[in-house]
A and B are shown apart, each in its own frame.
Chain A
């Protein structure tokens, strides 16, 4: 196209403006991220005195050493891993077994069941009734309180159902049926294999959700040994409540304070890395997933 019609001066200026705007956006997003990472690797003194602007100053791993020496953070990290892995596995199973039948025309009463699910997206009982339910079920202050009430998201079921409808042609069901595969067999050996992209996206959504949430832990858990990482982070980063015993290695108060500051940056990195590590692997699926979500169900 560009060979046939030369871009006008106006279009060229417009192009430059667009690239400039995107560069500014890029810097605005990237700079704080880079700063946090740099500060986490810097010498505490340099962070406190404001010498860190872009890259680490006098790089050290003191902050990270303090993070991994802190038993609370380590326990929280392991707990979060548990909640994320077990919770996401349950989420995937529940979402697939809900979405697959709903995608099949053969299901009688499909619209009624869909409506039964969708209503819950627009109206919910609210905080107290949900809390009382969890309490009455005896889940309060157990690990299951973070997993079972969050076993499935209706929105994700609808997205997955739409994916099944769009990508698995009716002919395939019929062919499988002729070959003697029932609905169950079809799901396990054909449908699931064809839906790797949507399962990857769902795993990402659910996994990130489990890793990042602190609200359910705040209301349902009391025992510190069950706390996920986000609750520990909250007390370190936001409430500014750092157990003095975890910086025993340094008696000098100022150094202690400086280390605390660097520890905050390090713990931010440690808490975000697992999620940011998965992201590039599922990125291509991720964009696809958002697009499927935009198809009206």
Chain B
């Protein structure tokens, strides 16, 4: 970077500058050769589908392809917003997301702060090892475990309930439990992993500030509140902005596995709907339109969240 700016400061004639650029490119040709496959990959697998988004405004006809299919304007969007079930799906998506954000966001911070206070190395390591482990379990296995544990016949939870004289509950079939099961399952799986990033940030908290506050007689709670947490605020803000940007992006994999006919009224979300309409019913244009709507909302939320974070705390993604 430095060399580059001095180069600009001298401002040699443009021809000479371009000549230098080409000379540099020639010397470092391997860099460009190496970069070629990744660029081609991204162009094909990310940019070609972006152009495929045109489908949202077309009536797809397989024989005519994306370009040849007739335009239909915004009719897919109108169709989506005029049906009452669409609003239910949007509502489900937002509710599940907000629930996981509110319940799940503070916990990794709490875990990290607690772990950071532990002085016994073996205790800290053991808790860390075990709390990370669920992160490596696949969503199929996770849902499988939950379904086994909540099973009305042999599930551990229902055996508990029966042991204390209660009636077994079909947890997966009751709409009232669906969100909580999903959210707390995610928390069980992700809290340990989520704490790593905060632990890293806490390791960077200034030792001078810590010692100064100890000498000033601050209790541990006050040190956490006035030194640790303010120091890791940029990390917290960035992760919060990212989570808000993902509010409409509830993952397909886990929810789809948990769906059954009994809980569909609360478990149908945009991602599962896009899959069913698009790939099962082959309604390509309509499905692309809903997907586009979803990713636009995500982008807008991300921008708003980042803007707000910048204004309020001076830190953000960009």
Residues of A whose CB lies within 8 Å of any CB of B are 1, 5, 8, 10-11, 14-15, 18-19, 21-22, 25-26, 28-30, 32-33, 35-36, 39, 47-48, 50, 94, 97-98, 100-102, 104-108, 113, 116-117, 120, 122-133, 148-149, 151-152, 154, 157, 182-184, 187, 208, 211-215, 219, 230, 233-234, 236-238, 261, 264-265, 268, 271-272, 275-276, 279-280, 283, 286-287, 290-291, 293-294, 296
Neighbouring B residues of A19 by C-beta, 8 Å = 118, 123
Asked whether, in the complex, the Cβ of A116 is within 8 Å of the Cβ of B42, the reply is yes
Asked whether, in the complex, the Cβ of B145 is within 8 Å of the Cβ of A279, the reply is no
Neighbouring A residues of B193 by C-beta, 8 Å = 290
Q: How far is the CA of A275 from the CA of B49 in the complex (A)?
A: 32
Neighbouring A residues of B127 by C-beta, 8 Å = 22, 25-26
0/1 string, B124-163, CB within 8 A of A gives 1: 0011011111101111110111011100011010010010
Neighbouring B residues of A21 by C-beta, 8 Å = 110, 114
* Chain B residues numbered 259-305 whose CB sits less than 8 Å from any CB in chain A: 274-275, 278-279, 284, 287-288, 291-292, 294-295, 299, 302
> Which 10 A-B residue pairings sit nearest by Cβ, starting from the closest?
A129-B52, A125-B49, A237-B144, A212-B138, A126-B291, A98-B38, A129-B49, A120-B46, A101-B31, A184-B30
Q: How far is the CA of A106 from the CA of B26 in the complex (A)?
A: 11
Asked whether, in the complex, the Cβ of B138 is within 8 Å of the Cβ of A238, the reply is no
Neighbouring A residues of B199 by C-beta, 8 Å = 287
Neighbouring A residues of B46 by C-beta, 8 Å = 120, 124-125, 154
Neighbouring B residues of A234 by C-beta, 8 Å = 140, 257
Interface size on B, residues (CB 8 A): 95
* Chain B residues numbered 20-70 whose CB sits less than 8 Å from any CB in chain A: 21, 24-25, 27-28, 30-32, 34-35, 37-39, 41-42, 44-53, 55, 66
Given A22-B115, A184-B30, A268-B141, does the pair A294, B37 have CB atoms closer than 8 Å? no
* B1 contacts the other chain (CB 8 A): yes
Asked whether, in the complex, the Cβ of B145 is within 8 Å of the Cβ of A36, the reply is yes
- Nearest A residue to B283 via CB reads A128
Neighbouring A residues of B147 by C-beta, 8 Å = 237-238
Neighbouring A residues of B177 by C-beta, 8 Å = none
Listed A/B pairs (22) with beta-carbon separation below 8 Å: A22-B115, A25-B111, A25-B131, A26-B126, A29-B192, A33-B134, A50-B162, A94-B37, A107-B31, A116-B42, A125-B46, A125-B48, A125-B49, A128-B288, A183-B31, A212-B138, A214-B253, A236-B144, A237-B141, A238-B144, A268-B144, A290-B200
* B229 contacts the other chain (CB 8 A): no
- The residue from A29, A272, A290 contacting B188, defined by CB atoms under 8 A apart: A29
B301 CB to closest chain A CB, in angstroms?
11
Asked whether, in the complex, the Cβ of A129 is within 8 Å of the Cβ of B288, the reply is yes
Asked whether, in the complex, the Cβ of A214 is within 8 Å of the Cβ of B214, the reply is no
Neighbouring B residues of A276 by C-beta, 8 Å = 133, 136
Given A8-B219, A211-B138, does the pair A133, B32 have CB atoms closer than 8 Å? no
- Nearest A residue to B111 via CB reads A25
A295 CB to closest chain B CB, in angstroms?
9
* B201 contacts the other chain (CB 8 A): yes
A13 CB to closest chain B CB, in angstroms?
10
* B235 contacts the other chain (CB 8 A): yes
Q: Secondary structure at chain A's binding surface: helix, strand, loop or mixed?
A: helix
Asked whether, in the complex, the Cβ of A35 is within 8 Å of the Cβ of B149, the reply is yes
* B221 contacts the other chain (CB 8 A): yes
Asked whether, in the complex, the Cβ of B49 is within 8 Å of the Cβ of A15, the reply is no
0/1 string, B66-103, CB within 8 A of A gives 1: 10000000000000000000000000000000000000
Asked whether, in the complex, the Cβ of B131 is within 8 Å of the Cβ of A215, the reply is no
Asked whether, in the complex, the Cβ of A47 is within 8 Å of the Cβ of B154, the reply is yes
Q: How far is the CA of A142 from the CA of B34 in the complex (A)?
A: 27
Given A35-B149, A264-B144, does the pair A129, B50 have CB atoms closer than 8 Å? yes
- The residue from A1, A133, A214 contacting B139, defined by CB atoms under 8 A apart: A214
Neighbouring B residues of A286 by C-beta, 8 Å = 132
Neighbouring B residues of A187 by C-beta, 8 Å = 30, 34
* B220 contacts the other chain (CB 8 A): yes
Give the most central of A21, A152, A265, A276: most B CB within 10 Å: A152
Beyond A29-B130, A212-B138, list 9 extra A-B contacts (CB 8 Å): A32-B188, A39-B148, A97-B34, A127-B291, A151-B45, A152-B41, A234-B140, A238-B140, A291-B197
Q: How far is the CA of A26 from the CA of B278 in the complex (A)?
A: 42
- Nearest A residue to B200 via CB reads A291
Asked whether, in the complex, the Cβ of B35 is within 8 Å of the Cβ of A113, the reply is yes
B18 CB to closest chain A CB, in angstroms?
11
Given A5-B214, A32-B145, does the pair A290, B42 have CB atoms closer than 8 Å? no
Asked whether, in the complex, the Cβ of B39 is within 8 Å of the Cβ of A130, the reply is no
Neighbouring A residues of B153 by C-beta, 8 Å = 48
Asked whether, in the complex, the Cβ of B140 is within 8 Å of the Cβ of A208, the reply is no
Q: How far is the CA of A61 from the CA of B184 in the complex (A)?
A: 32
Neighbouring B residues of A8 by C-beta, 8 Å = 219
Give the most central of A22, A39, A128: most B CB within 10 Å: A128
Asked whether, in the complex, the Cβ of A183 is within 8 Å of the Cβ of B38, the reply is no
- Nearest A residue to B318 via CB reads A296
0/1 string, B169-208, CB within 8 A of A gives 1: 0000000000000000000100111001101110000000
